[in-house]
Amino acid sequence: MSVWADSRFRQWAQSANDGSAFLAWWQRGAGAARIFENAFGYRFVQRKIHFLLPLAVAVAVGLAVLFGPWILLPLGLIAAMSYLWPRAGLAALPAAYLWSPEFALAGVGNELAFLRIDHALVLGLLAHLCRRAAFRDTGLYVPLFLFLAASVTSALLGLLRGYVATPEYALMYCVQLLYLAAGFVCAYSLGHRLPRAVPYAWALAMVAFAAYGIAETRFPLEVAEGLRYRSYERGFFDRQANHAAYALVLGGLTGLGMLAHSRWRGLGLALVLLCLAGLWGTGSREGVAALAAGLAAMLLLRLPALLWAAPLVFVLLCMALPAGFWDALLRPDGSFFDRILHWKAALATVDQHPVLGLGLGARHRRFYDSQYIMLLAETGLAGLLFFSWWVAALARALWHGARAPGASVFAAAAFCALVALCVQSLACVGFVVTMMAGPCYWLAGVSLARQRELP
Partner 1 sequence: MSLVDKRGRLFGLLNVLDLLMVLLVALVVAAAYVKLSPVHRPAPHTLLPENCVWADVVLRMPGEYAWMAEITAPGMLRRDPRSGEVDAEITGEQVLENGDLAVSLRMLAAKDAQGRLVADGQALLPGRYMRIITENCVLSGMVYRVSLAEGPAP
Give the residue with the Cβ less far from partner 1, 222 or 327: 222
Options 10, 13, 26, 39; binder of partner 1; rule CB under 8 A: 39
Report in angstroms how near the CB of residue 451 gets to partner 1 at its nearest: 20
From CA 216, how far away is CA 344, in angstroms rounded?
A: 37
Report in angstroms how near the CB of residue 274 gets to partner 1 at its nearest: 28
Give the residue with the Cβ less far from partner 1, 159 or 244: 159
- By CB under 8 A, is residue 41 in contact with partner 1? yes
Question: Under 8 Å CB-to-CB from 175, ≥6 apart: which residues?
Answer: none
Give the residue with the Cβ less far from partner 1, 39 or 56: 39
**Residue in 74, 183, 180, 174 with CA at minimum distance from that of residue 129:** 183
Report in angstroms how near the CB of residue 345 gets to partner 1 at its nearest: 6
From CA 15, how far away is CA 94, in angstroms rounded?
A: 43
Report in angstroms how near the CB of residue 293 gets to partner 1 at its nearest: 25
**Residue in 387, 342, 435 with CA at minimum distance from that of residue 110:** 435
How far, in Å, are 46, 86, 157, 178, 186 from residue 52 at the CA level?
9, 18, 30, 19, 18
122-181: contacts with partner 1 (CB under 8 A): 137, 141-142, 145-146, 148-149, 152-153, 155-156, 159-160, 162-163, 165-171, 174, 178
From CA 368, how far away is CA 312, in angstroms rounded?
A: 29
Question: Under 8 Å CB-to-CB from 6, ≥6 apart: which residues?
Answer: none
Report in angstroms how near the CB of residue 33 gets to partner 1 at its nearest: 5
Give the residue with the Cβ less far from partner 1, 254 or 284: 284
Options 342, 396, 400, 450; binder of partner 1; rule CB under 8 A: 342
Options 188, 264, 343, 368; binder of partner 1; rule CB under 8 A: 368
**345 half-sphere exposure, CB direction, 13 A CA radius:** 10
From CA 105, how far away is CA 130, in angstroms rounded?
A: 24
260-319: contacts with partner 1 (CB under 8 A): none
**Residue in 41, 121, 30, 134 with CA at minimum distance from that of residue 74:** 121
- Residues of this chain that bind partner 1 (CB under 8 A): 31-36, 38-42, 137, 141-142, 145-146, 148-149, 152-153, 155-156, 159-160, 162-163, 165-171, 174, 178, 238-239, 333, 335, 342, 345, 362-364, 366-368
